[in-house]
Amino acid sequence: MLLNALTTIGAKALQRRISPWGQISLLRGWAIIERANEASEKQKIAAAIIDAGGTIESLEFEEVKGFSASKSFMCFEAWVVLAVESLSS
């Protein structure tokens, strides 16, 4: 479910710039997840970024507010460098 946030309107590249190493972007998304799965969901986001050819500069994963007794409304922000080669694909 959380990985779907990377491909939906909830995940947006908010800021972009080009460096000699590639494009630097801020990726932000939101999801409702089980509190018990917070660490694994963060790992899924990191894996999806790496699989897409990105290098993670930083990744924050924070609860925005409680959704229910067992679920949280979460926000993630990742500063990502995409290699120049992966941008031409």
Q: What is the CATH number of domain 3-87?
A: 3.30.70.60
Whether pLDDT at 2 is above 50: no
Q: What pLDDT is recorded for position 71? A: 94
Q: What is the pLDDT of residues 8-58, one digit of tens each?
A: 333 444 444 555 566 788 999 999 999 999 999 999 999 998 998 889 999
| Global confidence as pTM | 0.68
Whether pLDDT at 62 is above 50: yes
Boundaries of every domain in the chain: 3-87
User: What gap in Å lies between CA 88 and CA 63, rounded to an integer?
Assistant: 35
Q: What pLDDT is recorded for position 53? A: 85
Whether pLDDT at 1 is above 90: no
CA angle 38, 30, 9 (to 5 degrees): 145
- The mean pLDDT of 73-86, rounded to a whole number, is 82
